[in-house]
């Protein structure tokens, strides 16, 4: 595989166009589907609890190489490519789902909305069809752009995840050491989570609320393998921005509010409903800091979108030209240049539009359907190019979705659609668009991997639908189990909720606009804080997410990021790429293992009354069989986990290739 810059004529894929080898096989499809569901469910839990997902493309490729070799001594690199194409779809679908769909559960748990007549509940079947329709729209709209974005822009658009995946597949891993890193991470993350959730051997969260000095402030750490792994994957820059937002919120603004409450006893400041002096750090967050975070995230998303505006214009113009100028394929078309025929793509888009219009229970009337398709087409073109420049992790999906929701709300209000009916319509539009954007970014990365390897685009495009189908069937059940067990808002259940930060933010914005009851002052102040951060020359979106989430989530992420920083500092340039890859694979495994046990716990709570009672007997998530030593044991174990991660990154399994 040679990458010789933007001149396409000098490019040679790993498998030439005139070479025929096994590509789409039953074993590749089955393995890819399993990986898609596993990482899709795990990322759904991760996104709902911590507000972020992790890419599954590289772990899927590594697992594929190991498992296919066990099944048959010879496995082609194009089979591995199909596995990662199918397997990576679950994570992307999960991101689109958890950003939006939990809003319906959040509204259902809102007593004020219930008193006002809100009764809409989203069903598992509706979640499935929203997933399929939104995902299919994103895949189909991306297909006509492949030749321009992936081929003609080769050398200009790097597609970081797609390129890295191709390099890993070409390099291979005959000893299976990289796969062992992933599976070891999964096992360790799962065992750690089992020790907490099933055995109650130690506390998961360690927190301390200041009582005198800095009253109202709090420090803490959620000592989990998932957050440690996420920190390593996202790196020190993003992690430090998140931590800075959390520090400002929980060690700056919260103590200031508590101080004001002490100076003016009995004062109640909206949207709070009790005196400031009586609020603990958690109540200060729910009444004020949460809304500051909403404003900061909303503005940070818009800024990310505005920064991409030149790319938006260029990609939309070029993409539209490419769509109109698509040439008809013939039998003489090289294998590596064969896409799904345009007539089938257009037919598929028409069927998706009809499906969106006819989907019951989502209030997607003709107006809502038109808005979903228009925004979907526009932002799919945008997202497909942005991921080529900065990668999927940095794509401003939340900004695109918030923009969609706000404009949709205003248009619906203009046409007289308001209240709870307008909320359902707007969020349904946002769900379709968000899923389409996430899936278009995923298939864009996958097609880049295939282009570098010499895969057949048509086969990747078809198997991407398989990668969408299986996690789509699992998402509804996963959300229902998690909602019934934990809920997505404070007070929904007696247990500590999954915060679902993006969904809570979007639910707040849509509800406020459609019902004219948004607490604008703290939201605007949060936006101004984000503006100040942008003026410092740094991205405000990670900062804003840190401001919205509790401090205890940012500290373990920062710990993992510090390990990544140390690995970089102690490694030479030649050593770093290998060590960093080992660290990412082990971290990805820990994230998956932790999250899968979290979903299993939700299933056990919902289906086994005995375990639900056992789980609830440790109220507050701070008590354990080790009693007052539980928090200290958690810190010691977490420290040991961090050291072990460093060792895995530095040495792997004794082989520094």
Q: Percentage of residues in the chain with pLDDT exceeding 70?
A: 86
For residues 161-188, average pLDDT: 76
For residues 314 and 419, which has the higher predicted lDDT (pLDDT)?
Answer: 419
Among 328-342, 395-409, 470-484, 520-534, which stretch is predicted with the lowest mean pLDDT?
Answer: 328-342
DSSP 208-225: EE-SSTTTT-EEEEE--H
343-398 confidence digits (pLDDT tens) = 888 899 999 999 999 998 888 888 899 999 988 887 887 777 777 765 665 566 87
Cα–Cα distance between 186 and 594 in angstroms, integer? Answer: 7
Report pLDDT for 525.
Answer: 93
Helix (H) or strand (E) holding 32: helix 26-50
Split at pLDDT 50, 70, 90, the class of 175 is: very low
Is the confidence at residue 10, as pLDDT, over 70? Answer: no
Concatenated DSSP letters of 423-465:
HHHHHHHHHHHHHHHHHHHHHHHHHHHHHHHT--HHHHHHHHH
Residue 325 has pLDDT above 70, yes or no: no
Nearest to 537 by CA among 241, 302, 160: 241
pLDDT on residue 327: 53
Within a 10 A sphere around the Cβ of 61, how many other Cβ atoms?
28
Cis peptide before 271 (omega within 30 of 0): yes
d(CA 453, CA 168): 11
Which of 58-72, 173-187, 549-563 ranks highest by mean pLDDT? Answer: 549-563
CA distance linking residue 242 with residue 543, whole number of Å:
5
Q: What is each CA distance from 119 to 6, 176, 421, 490, in whole angstroms?
A: 55, 52, 10, 20
205 vs 506 pLDDT, higher one: 506
29-43, 276-290, 377-391, 495-509: range with lowest mean pLDDT: 377-391
Residues 6+ apart with CB under 8 A from 22: 76, 78, 79
pLDDT at 290: 84
Q: How confident is the model at residue 614 (pLDDT cuts 50, 70, 90)?
A: confident
Token pair recorded at residue 479:
């959300």
Q: What whole-number distance in Å separates Cα of residue 304 and Cα of residue 151?
A: 26
Residue 200 zone, left/alpha/beta (φ > 0; ψ -120 to 50; rest): left
pLDDT at 121 over 50: yes
Q: What torsion do the CA atoms of 216, 221, 227, 228 make, to the nearest 10 degrees?
A: 140
Looking at residue 329, its pLDDT comes to 54
Sorted by where each begins, the domain ranges of the chain are: 185-290+537-651
> Across 51-55, 319-323, 328-332, 453-457, which has the greatest mean pLDDT?
453-457
3-state helix/strand/coil string of 469-514: HHHHHHHHHHHHHHHHHCCCCCCCCCCCCCCCHHHHHHHHHHHHHH
When mean pLDDT is compared across 136-150, 469-483, 549-563, the lowest value belongs to: 136-150
Judged on CB neighbours under 10 Å (0-12, 13-18, 19+), 138 is buried
Burial 554-580 (b: 16+ CB within 10 A, else e): bbbbbbbbbbbbebbeebeeeeeebbb
| CA angle, 633 then 487 then 407, to 5° | 125
Per-residue DSSP letters for 219-249? EEEE--HHHHHHHHHHHHHHHHHHHHHHHHI
pLDDT tens-digit map of 219-272: 999 888 988 988 898 889 888 998 999 999 999 999 999 999 988 888 888 888
What average pLDDT does the structure give for the chain?
83
Nearest partner of 23 among 465, 467, 462, 443, judged by Cα: 462
Higher pLDDT, 528 or 623: 528
Angle, CA of 630, 633 and 639, to the nearest 5°: 140
Helix 26-50 crosses helix 57-71 at what angle (to 10 degrees)? 150
User: Which stretch of 145-159, 390-404, 494-508, 564-578 has the lowest confidence by average pLDDT?
Assistant: 390-404
Q: Are 591 and 46 in contact (CB under 8 A)?
A: yes
Confidence of residue 19 (pLDDT cuts 50, 70, 90): confident
- What pLDDT, on a 0 to 100 scale, did the predictor assign at position 541? 78
Band the pLDDT of 3: cuts 50, 70, 90. very low
Most confident region among 31-45, 62-76, 162-176 by mean pLDDT: 31-45
At 157 the three-state DSSP class reads strand
Q: What share of the chain is helix, strand, coil (3-state, %, to 5)?
A: 75, 0, 25
The pLDDT of residue 128 is above 80: yes
Give the DSSP letter of residue 329.
Answer: P
Q: How far apart are CA 23 and CA 15, in angstroms?
A: 11
Q: Is the per-residue pLDDT at 323 higher than 60?
A: no
pLDDT in tens, 419-472: 888 899 999 999 999 999 999 989 998 999 999 999 999 999 999 999 999 999
d(CA 113, CA 508): 12
Q: How far is CA 291 from CA 337, 408, 444, 517, 529, in A?
A: 49, 22, 35, 13, 12
Q: What is the pLDDT of residues 624-637, one digit of tens each?
A: 555 667 788 889 99
Beta-carbon count within 10 A of 366 CB: 8
Nearest to 85 by CA among 42, 171, 25: 25
Highest mean pLDDT out of 203-207, 327-331, 343-347, 352-356: 352-356
Q: How far is CA 371 from the centre of its chain?
A: 24
The three-state DSSP-derived secondary structure of 125-139 is HHHHHHHHHHHHHHH
pLDDT, one tens digit per residue, over 70-120 is 666 667 889 989 999 999 999 899 999 999 999 999 998 887 777 666 667
The per-residue pLDDT for 642 is 95
Residue 12: pLDDT over 90: no
**Token couple for 473:** 């069937």
In degrees, rounded to 5, the angle at the alpha carbon of residue 213 between the alpha carbons of residues 211 and 217 is 65
By three-state DSSP, how is residue 45 classified? helix
Judged against a pLDDT cut of 70, whether residue 619 lies above it is answered with no
């Amino acid at each position: 595989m040679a990458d010789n810059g933007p001149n396409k004529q000098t490019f040679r894929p790993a498998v030439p166009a005139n070479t025929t080898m096994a590509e789409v096989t039953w074993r590749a499809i089955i393995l890819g589907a399993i990986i898609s569901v596993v990482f899709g469910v795990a990322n759904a839990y991760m996104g709902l609890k911590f507000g972020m997902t992790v890419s599954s493309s590289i772990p899927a490729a590594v697992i594929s190489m190991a498992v296919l070799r066990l099944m048959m001594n010879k496995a082609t690199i194009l089979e591995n490519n199909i596995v990662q194409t199918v397997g990576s779809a679950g994570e992307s679908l999960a991101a689109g789902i958890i950003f939006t769909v939990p809003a319906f559960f959040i509204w259902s748990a809102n007593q004020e909305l219930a008193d006002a007549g809100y009764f809409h509940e989203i069903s598992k079947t509706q979640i499935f069809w929203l997933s399929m329709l939104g995902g299919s729209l994103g895949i189909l709209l991306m297909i006509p752009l492949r030749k321009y974005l992936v081929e003609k822009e080769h050398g200009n658009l790097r597609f970081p995840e797609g390129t890295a995946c191709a390099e890993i597949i070409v390099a291979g891993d005959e000893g299976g050491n990289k796969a062992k890193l992933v599976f070891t991470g999964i096992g360790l993350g799962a065992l750690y989570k089992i020790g907490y959730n099933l055995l109650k051997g130690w506390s998961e969260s360690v927190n301390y609320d200041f009582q005198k000095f800095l009253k109202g402030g709090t420090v803490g750490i959620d000592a989990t393998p998932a957050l440690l792994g996420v920190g390593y994957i996202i790196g020190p820059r993003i992690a430090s921005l998140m931590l800075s937002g959390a520090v400002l919120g929980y060690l700056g603004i919260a103590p200031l509010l508590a101080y004001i409450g002490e100076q003016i006893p009995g004062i109640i400041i909206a949207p709070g409903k009790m005196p400031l002096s009586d609020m603990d750090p958690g109540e200060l967050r729910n009444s004020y800091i949460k809304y500051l975070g909403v404003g900061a995230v909303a503005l940070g998303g818009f800024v990310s979108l505005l920064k991409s505006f030149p790319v938006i214009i260029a990609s939309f113009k070029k993409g539209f030209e490419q769509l109109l100028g698509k040439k008809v394929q013939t039998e003489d078309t090289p294998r590596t240049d064969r896409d799904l025929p345009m007539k089938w793509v257009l037919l598929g888009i028409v069927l998706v539009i009809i499906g969106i219009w006819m989907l019951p229970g989502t209030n997607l009337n003709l107006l809502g359907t038109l808005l979903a398709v228009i925004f979907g087409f526009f932002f799919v073109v945008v997202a497909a190019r942005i991921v080529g420049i900065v990668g999927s992790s940095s794509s401003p999906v939340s900004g695109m979705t918030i923009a969609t929701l706000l404009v949709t709300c205003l248009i619906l209000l203009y046409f007289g659609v308001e209240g709870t009916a307008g909320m359902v319509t707007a969020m349904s539009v946002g769900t379709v668009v968000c899923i389409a954007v996430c899936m278009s970014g995923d298939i864009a990365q996958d097609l880049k991997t295939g282009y570098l390897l010499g895969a057949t685009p048509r086969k990747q495009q078809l198997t991407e639908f398989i990668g969408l189908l299986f996690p789509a069937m699992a998402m509804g059940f996963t959300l229902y189990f998690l909602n019934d067990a934990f809920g997505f808002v404070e007070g929904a259940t007696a247990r500590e909720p999954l915060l679902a930060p993006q969904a809570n933010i979007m639910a707040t914005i849509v509800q406020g606009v459609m019902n004219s009851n948004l607490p604008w002052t703290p939201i605007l102040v949060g936006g101004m804080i984000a503006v100040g951060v942008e003026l410092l020359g740094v991205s405000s979106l990670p900062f804003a997410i840190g401001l919205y989430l509790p401090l205890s989530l940012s500290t373990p992420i920062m710990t993992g990021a510090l390990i990544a920083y140390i690995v970089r500092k102690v490694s030479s340039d030649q050593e770093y790429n290998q060590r960093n890859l080992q660290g990412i694979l082990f971290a990805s495994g820990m994230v998956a293992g932790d999250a899968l046990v979290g979903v299993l716990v939700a299933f056990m709570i919902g289906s086994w009354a005995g375990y639900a009672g056992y789980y609830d007997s440790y109220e507050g998530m701070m008590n354990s069989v080790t009693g007052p030593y539980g928090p200290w044991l958690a810190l010691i174990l977490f420290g040991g986990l961090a050291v072990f991660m460093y060792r895995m990154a530095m040495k792997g399994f004794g082989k520094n290739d």
